[in-house]
Structure 1
């Protein structure tokens, strides 16, 4: 039986998404163009459960879209990796991946070791983990940074004017919270951060190992590699795991399609 929050989630999805975006399609289908969704005013949603449902319903299509783009790139890369000697380093795909994933081609050229490391970066992130971080970092979309700057993941920047200044700036460690022109840009920046930053190399190694063992790329496993995401370290991991465990019922189930849980 469909419960109240599943109905709310479906209503939010159907009412917010621009005509033409298809939600229910197979992984083999062509990746759809960027999506445009009207952002709800989460501060005006009084009921806590309704707010959680609306928040997850709003962000899930963006996460799903980027995961599908990554899967498409990854599949092309895996095909090319069958014969590295034939890869054109100046091709549009390789140059784009080199730039996006910050993994320059060595002077000796493309080889299996380089491809293996690139494939560790070109990979999906589990929906529950991304949603949990967004909820925690943006106070369910109600924070000043989220409402004024589409900043759902609390990412810092260090040049004056690059973002929004905290109400109590740290004079010893000046930073701003990065602002973005759109929600999609914010989600993309989060994915790029996790998939390239050296602080999350352990997370990427765990993800690669799970895939080698043909195990699901689970949020519970990858969250363990986020201890450097926050100054509170392992306490941050415990909070994320608790948030995932207690809020899964509000997450749109139709997006659990990429070997993630």
Structure 2
């Protein structure tokens, strides 16, 4: 009888230890991000000259393999983590292929408490840059596959069923007619890191805004679906928009890129990018592309000037041709 009591206590102790490990791992062990090919279309309830960057597909997930993301709760710990893996922005800009594959899922809660302005800026860029490269890399891989399928289609080769389904889903994602390869390649394309960084800096205040800290919203994307975002404190009576929240930072980055690639308000952006791809083998010119983004903000042309100013004052274009390192 005494042995049975001891066994029960032992089982309870084991269960307690296992549950404790699982709980702690949620905070300190990399978590898995799952993607699916779901698209939910958002509806626009009001018209104006200003086109919110989130108008169009309001919720979406892309069908890529799972990736690992890390969450480090404090700025001090995250700075130490970056130092341990030799993640230095000057080295990244010089060596070009030295960005580590570390995907931070949430901004540190105390990022606004970092006293050194240069350290705060550096920390924010180190958090966001790998997420931009990750999203661009996935798109580049997709484009290579799309070009191979386009070639098969051109010579009359039969597509495998899996290839056909994947391709048709891509056309559907962008509301394109099946086999409109030109339209798909025009839309499904990368964004210069300097441009994405500049816009995230403006929209999130270097990661210190309420929307960024509480909702991983670093690009100021709007939603008209109640309860899916944070209500702006200065929202005018009668307005219904919220600033869309995300479970993880990478989702905010991918939504931002998708919006630029999808919405009609950014057609000039896409067409200019396409011409750059055709006419030069160099990097996309983010300054020129910024000129087309007056619809991104109610500030319009002043917003464009601000984006270009942020890029210049922080020398962000040095990150436009950086790549991931082959090691962690």
Query: What TM-score do the two structures reach when normalised by structure 1?
Result: 0.79
- Residue 218 of structure 1 deviates from its aligned partner by 1.8
Which residue matches 1:6?
Answer: none
Unmatched 5+ residue regions in structure 2? 1-77, 87-91
Rg larger for: 2
From the superposition, tell whether residues 177 and 153 of structure 1 become closer, same or farther in structure 2 (CA, over 3 Å). same
- Residue 170 of structure 1 deviates from its aligned partner by 2.1
- Residue 72 of structure 1 deviates from its aligned partner by 0.2
Unmatched 5+ residue regions in structure 1? 1-8, 18-22, 27-31
> How big is each residue's C-alpha offset from its partner over 1:93-149, in whole Å with a ceiling of 9 and x where there is no partner?
3134234x423334xxx2xxx100100111110000000000000010000000000
**Which shifted more, 81-90 or 200-209?**
81-90
Q: 147, 155, 158: which is aligned to 2:224? A: 158
From the superposition, tell whether residues 133 and 231 of structure 1 become closer, same or farther in structure 2 (CA, over 3 Å). same
Q: How does 1:1-261 map to 2 (within 5 A)?
A: 13-15=82-84, 35-36=103-104, 39-40=107-108, 41-84=110-153, 85-86=156-157, 87=159, 91=163, 92-99=165-172, 101-106=173-178, 110=179, 114-214=180-280, 215-248=282-315, 253=319, 256-257=322-323
Which residue matches 2:28?
Answer: none
Helix, strand or coil for the counterpart of 1:59?
A: helix
Helix, strand or coil for the counterpart of 2:296?
A: coil
- Residue 50 of structure 1 deviates from its aligned partner by 1.0
Helix, strand or coil for the counterpart of 1:225?
A: coil
Give, in whole Å, the separation in 2 of the partners of 1:13 and 1:103. Answer: 40
Divergent runs of 4+, >6 A: 23-26
The answer as to whether partners of 2:222 and 2:241 remain within 8 angstroms in 1 is yes
The answer as to whether partners of 2:193 and 2:319 remain within 8 angstroms in 1 is no
Cα RMSD (Å) of the superposition?
3.0
Aligned residue pairs: how many? 232
The answer as to whether partners of 1:12 and 1:58 remain within 8 angstroms in 2 is no
The answer as to whether partners of 2:96 and 2:322 remain within 8 angstroms in 1 is no
Give, in whole Å, the separation in 2 of the partners of 1:240 and 1:194. Answer: 15
From the superposition, tell whether residues 123 and 182 of structure 1 become closer, same or farther in structure 2 (CA, over 3 Å). same
Give, in whole Å, the separation in 1 of the partners of 2:168 and 2:146. Answer: 12
Helix, strand or coil for the counterpart of 2:243?
A: strand
